[in-house]
Structure formats: structure tokens, C-alpha cells
Amino acid sequence: MRKSKKDRQDQLQETINENPFITDEELAERFSVSVQTIRLDRMELSIPELRERIKHVAEKTFDEVKSLPLEEVIGEIIDIQLDENAISIFEVKQEHVFKRNGIARGHHLFAQANSLAVAVINDELALTAKSTIRFTRPVRLGERVIAKAKVINSQEVKERDRSFVEVKSYVGQEIVFIGEFEMYRSNSEVKGVKHENSY
């Protein structure tokens, strides 16, 4: 049975409140209506488009980050608990892909993950010392990559003034990139390290 417009809009509002990063296409599929209908519903409810919702959340979230300025982050940070975990979203656009096949250049996915690993460190200076990365499938033009960082610290690591950050990047539910980053913190006594963020 088809929902009334009011019921659909009520559920649409609730769905977007629960997941601000859901796309119009995903909403159209969920409610069995056209994308145009979803856009009209959003306009009537004064709900901004996805890009504006991401930007709004990112601006609120970024006040917490100490280790680098907003313009140096690749992707949009949408959630962060310093020294614990963080999430960012990266939209793959024309300038990020190889022209001949529409596949994203690997350094963009690395940069998203690496800048997230820097940002999650609760320190004014965080440097990437070493990384191990693996690409598990190509990412294509128009796909949305969600990177999730998790800080993994043992007592031994803390004593060495370092942090380890694991980053897994997804398109939908599929893992497309895995990275393990060893991070220096500003109280590290390592000599000869140039004091700037590395990515």
C-alpha cells in the first residue's frame, strides 16, 4: 500500500535525522518513489541536499581537531573522538580518476586515509612515520568512499610516544582500502624528523 505524502515526508525526515549522509537515490529506493519526488519532499521540508548536510556536520566536528587545519584534510570529517576513532567521506569526482577508465587514482584514497589518521591524533603535531597499505578493489568515478579510523595503542606504544591508527575505507559495505599508520606525536624524541604533516 502506497504511503500518503505526509507519512512519507515524516518518515523521510526521521530517516535523514538518523543518517544525514543517505543519498537521494537511496531514499528513492527505500520509499519506492522517484529521485525527483525525494528532492521535492526535501525542499518542502527545508532539508538541504547531501553536500550541504555533510559540510554542516564537518564544520561542527572539526573544532575538535588539533593536528591540522581543515583545508589540509582530504575528504570531509563527519565524526571524530580524538585518540579513539574518526570517520570521513570522500566523493570521487572527475579530477580524481584516470580519464581512460574512470578509476580513482590511488594517492587520493591514501591521502583520505592518511589525513584522517593525522586528524584523529590528540596532539598539535602528528607525523606519519610509516604506513602499510592495501587496495582491495578499484574505486570508480561517482562512488563515495567512507574511511573509518581507529587508534590502537598498547602500553609499549605509548611509552615510545607513538600511536598506531588503522584505517579501513568502504564503498557501501565493501572494503576498498586498508591502511595501518604509525604516527609520531609532538613529544616524540626522534631526531631529524621534519615537523610538518606527512601525506
pLDDT tens, 152-174? 875 555 556 788 999 999 998 89
Termini Cα distance of the chain: 53
pLDDT band, very low/low/confident/very high, at 117 (cuts 50, 70, 90): very high
Condensed to tens digits (0 to 9), the pLDDT of residues 54-96 reads 776 666 655 667 767 767 789 888 888 888 999 999 999 999 9
Q: How far apart are the C-alpha atoms of 184 and 67, rounded to whole Å? A: 12
The CATH fold of domain 5-47: Arc Repressor Mutant, subunit A (1.10.10)
Where along the chain do its domains lie?
5-47, 61-185
116 φ, ψ to 5°? -70, -40
Average confidence score pLDDT of the chain: 83
Q: What CATH fold (topology level) applies to the domain 61-185?
A: Thiol Ester Dehydrase; Chain A (3.10.129)
pTM of model > 0.85: no
